Structure 1
């Protein structure tokens, strides 16, 4: 499994992690991911899966890098502290490796929220601070509030079918040395439906799969990994899919293949659930 740097933290993370939104798999799924080098497990208080993740990693804490998120409705200073303690309890751990603001808030000043995050780092309850679904403008505000180089990551939706938002965020993160965690890179498993009606994309995908000897899912995941700062965190509930997803690492689409897929996909869209 290839790795990429988590911002300027000195930590290296696998370029294929495991997302747990609507995760209902057995502990064996998480264990298999760890065995394949996919030791980044991402969750959130709003997913309702922190407890499941915590039980799965019991006794294996040192093998896992855990990322979770605080919800925007908990962005007041004391609410952030309380939410963190609740997540720590659910996960059964003493420190969160990466604590992320789940989405921007128009109601709470970013300075207040980041003040709470700084307190959590100082207390040893959080190692690294990240954000999720933040625009470049919002990232700059978060960096100003917390301090230079202390925001190590931004988690955003990024796929062949939906990358308008990412197309502005990724260049900024490359410039600043900030990691991007891509979610929904397989469109929550609906990528085959996304391709229907686009004969050119279907044919291009068939060609690329034949050239690389990879599945469509592996090609789509690898498509997101072109940037040196991007990793992806597909969710799966099955062992076979863990194996398939992890095999998207260790190789790269050629420039010609990447551009052929991008061109064939045509106009992209962006859905901002948090706006």
Structure 2
């Protein structure tokens, strides 16, 4: 495995990090708890020491699964990355969207990051995770009803209390990062990034490179589309958000699969899967520190972790990029 520091901090994480959104089941059509735990443990055995989660993933389920999975592992050998600012248990802040929990009950999701809410969320996360500190604590989404400064001041207090090591944000633009940094130093920004979703390369990536901030790329497999296993006409489980997600339009599935077939000979030549090729390309992109990759079971987790062994030459990366330039999504 390769390990990289978050920004200029001393928090060192695995370049391939376990993304535990799907492990919580919420918006992914449910979860099998034992499979998720085994997936995290299989990843750890192959050097994936970092796990990214959030309270809203399964309304606490994902954090509980992570906590159970890391029992018995020396705490300083694993890095826990979690978040705050999305509440399903109150009606304050910005209303985000309606959803259903894993039991099928209607819930309303709010973006809320007031000081007292952050303090409570941190305590709740520590309990679910079974730990006394969090390595990276991230604002999940910008919250319009709370000044950024207020949120960051709460996080600064938590750092001073030793409950978190470093502060990060998620889904922030450059101006929001700059505003947050008037209060404290950010280590990272977690944002969507994949071969077919590269909008952050215009402004955010150059800013983060210049100011030595890490980028944690979430959905690098574009929620499974870049595995090549999803075909036009695919039927998603009830509650799976991908059914209405832009990249899963019939035309985009077909176009993406055509692209994947064009780069498949390179994967075959290296005796690796398309997924492993995509993960390696992602962590080799300028400015990308970490690829957050989810897995439903130990086998998927093992395959993801082994992507670190793939080596891409400059010519091979150029070939992939040229094929990407031909891609036309609607």
CA distance in 2, matches of 1:50, 1:71: 15
Corresponding position of 1:19 = 19
What 5-or-longer segments of structure 2 have no aligned partner? 24-30, 87-110, 231-251
* Aligned residue-pair number: 267
CA distance in 1, matches of 2:177, 2:131: 28
TM-score normalized by the length of structure 1: 0.90
Corresponding position of 1:245 = 304
Find the residue that maps to 1:130 and give its secondary structure: strand
Task: Report if the CA contact (8 A) 2:11-2:135 is conserved.
Answer: no
Corresponding position of 2:38 = 28
What 5-or-longer segments of structure 1 have no aligned partner? 271-275
Mark the structure with the bigger radius of gyration.
Answer: 2
CA 1:204/1:80 → structure 2, altered by over 3 Å: closer, same or farther? same
CA distance in 1, matches of 2:167, 2:200: 21
Shift of residue 71, structure 1, vs aligned partner: 1.9
Shift of residue 200, structure 1, vs aligned partner: 5.7
Matched, 1:255 2:311: no
Corresponding position of 1:214 = 272
| Further displaced range: 15-24 or 110-119 | 15-24
CA distance in 1, matches of 2:259, 2:149: 45
TM-score normalized by the length of structure 2: 0.75
Find the residue that maps to 1:232 and give its secondary structure: strand
Corresponding position of 1:124 = 162
Corresponding position of 2:324 = 265
Matched, 1:134 2:172: yes
Corresponding position of 2:70 = 57
Shift of residue 268, structure 1, vs aligned partner: 7.4
Shift of residue 4, structure 1, vs aligned partner: 1.3
Corresponding position of 2:263 = 205
| Further displaced range: 41-50 or 241-250 | 241-250
CA distance in 2, matches of 1:268, 1:256: 23
CA distance in 1, matches of 2:201, 2:131: 32
1:185 corresponds to which of 201, 210, 220: 220
Task: Report if the CA contact (8 A) 1:131-1:154 is conserved.
Answer: yes
Shift of residue 168, structure 1, vs aligned partner: 2.4
| Further displaced range: 19-28 or 199-208 | 199-208
Shift of residue 178, structure 1, vs aligned partner: 1.2
CA distance in 2, matches of 1:203, 1:52: 36
Shift of residue 81, structure 1, vs aligned partner: 0.5
1:100 corresponds to which of 130, 134, 138: 138
CA 1:259/1:113 → structure 2, altered by over 3 Å: closer, same or farther? same
CA distance in 2, matches of 1:107, 1:261: 43
Shift of residue 100, structure 1, vs aligned partner: 0.3
Q: Runs of 4 or more off by more than 4 Å in structure 1?
A: 267-270
Corresponding position of 1:6 = 6
CA distance in 2, matches of 1:199, 1:231: 25
Give 1 or 2: higher helix fraction.
1
